[in-house]
Amino acid sequence: MLDYLANLDRRWIFLALAVAVIAPLLWPFHLPVEPSPLSRKFYQTVEDLPSNSLVLLSFDYGPGTKVECHPMAVAMLHHLFRKKCPVVCIALWPEGSMFARQALQEVAPQYGAREGIDYVNLGYKNGGEVILRGMGEDIRAIYSHDLRGQALADLPLMERVRGWDSFALVCDWSMGRPGLAEFVRVVSGQYRRPLLAGTSAVTTPEAYPFLNAGQVESLLGGMRGASEYEVLLGLKDGQATRGIDAQSVAHFLVAGLIILANIVYFAQERRRRKAEG
């Protein structure tokens, strides 16, 4: 048995890992997830918004971190539309406008939210911090129409929107630059608007100084943060919940294989020494 395990074809290990990842995605295990204080504060910040509060979301991530940032955005749209809070979406990354459209098309119909009335997707603009500063007093200095090509004057929701002061809350889904740092300098630092953030796992440490300085109200970090937010919202089969199941099962499998490999190695060494003695 020891020899069999020691010489096991590695393709069986690859197959086991593939099953460990795919199975929870298809059939969620609903492993227990305990929301952190940061996720609870994020949830409560949105929950405390009065109904009909205007919120801006910025989709600043690409395909490489969609698996982490997109579930956060989808979950927050659920939260906002439940509370009847209208949403304006922008993007500082080219792919962001597409992800915003996907998220809105997925969530808005579940709440009867209407484009142009309950939400607007303004799309991508190149320029990073320059764009955010240009939007300061009047968003029309930067945007003249939405992603569909509709003039802002033809969108009832945009009658409520001037500059940053129009928004009760701003949230940036960020995987790098431009992203959270630019929002902190302009939205939080200059215009003093409440700012939330959701970041990819590798960029989360960069966000903690802003959090500790009080420039960001709260933060969701990586797939773990997204799954905690879904738990707080009661989204049992959310994208991040399935993803964290797959991630956890895969980690358990890898850890088990490492332990098994060490047991086999030391057992073989013990047998070899006995044979030599």
Segment 10-61, tens digit of pLDDT: 787 788 778 777 777 677 767 667 889 999 999 999 999 999 999 999 999 9
pTM, two decimal places: 0.82
C-alpha pair distances (Å), 273 with each of 260, 276, 277:
20, 5, 6
Top-confidence residue, 245 or 18: 18
Q: Which of 155, 158, 192, 187 is nearest to 174 (CA)?
A: 187
Segment 120-150, tens digit of pLDDT: 999 999 999 999 999 988 999 999 999 999 9
Q: Which of 37, 221, 267 is nearest to 275 (CA)?
A: 267
The amino acid at 39: S
pLDDT band of residue 245 (cuts 50, 70, 90) is: low
pLDDT at 162: 92
Segment 172-227, tens digit of pLDDT: 999 888 889 999 999 998 999 999 999 988 889 899 999 999 999 999 988 888 88
Q: What per-residue string of b and e applies to 183-198 under the rule 16 or more CB within 10 Å gives b?
A: bbebbbeebebbbbbb
The percentage of residues in the chain with a pLDDT greater than 90, rounded to a whole number, is 58
Q: Can you read off the two tokens belonging to residue 145?
A: 């129409």
Q: Which of 195, 211, 204, 216 is nearest to 56 (CA)?
A: 195
Contact criterion met (CB below 8 Å) for 186 and 211: no
C-alpha pair distances (Å), 257 with each of 125, 144, 249:
48, 57, 12
Q: CATH fold of 31-235, please? A: Rossmann fold (3.40.50)
Domain boundaries, the chain: 2-25+247-276, 31-235
Q: What gap in Å lies between CA 83 and CA 43, rounded to an integer?
A: 12
Q: List all residues 6 or more positions away from 89 whose beta carbon is below 8 Å from its beta carbon.
A: 56, 57, 58, 59, 97, 100, 104, 119, 120, 121, 122
**C-alpha torsion angle, residues 136, 142, 144, 145 (rounded to 10):** -100
Mean pLDDT of 79-108: 95
- Of 45-54, 159-168, 211-220, 262-271, the poorest mean pLDDT is in 262-271
pLDDT at 277: 62
Give the burial class of 41: count Cβ atoms within 10 A of its Cβ; 0-12 exposed, 13-18 middle, 19 or more buried: middle
Mean pLDDT of 76-100: 95
Q: Which of 152, 178, 154 is nearest to 166 (CA)?
A: 152
Mean pLDDT of 109-113: 95
pLDDT at 25: 63
pLDDT at 177: 87
Q: What gap in Å lies between CA 24 and CA 232, rounded to an integer?
A: 20
pLDDT at 170 over 80: yes
Q: List all residues 6 or more positions away from 189 whose beta carbon is below 8 Å from its beta carbon.
A: 215
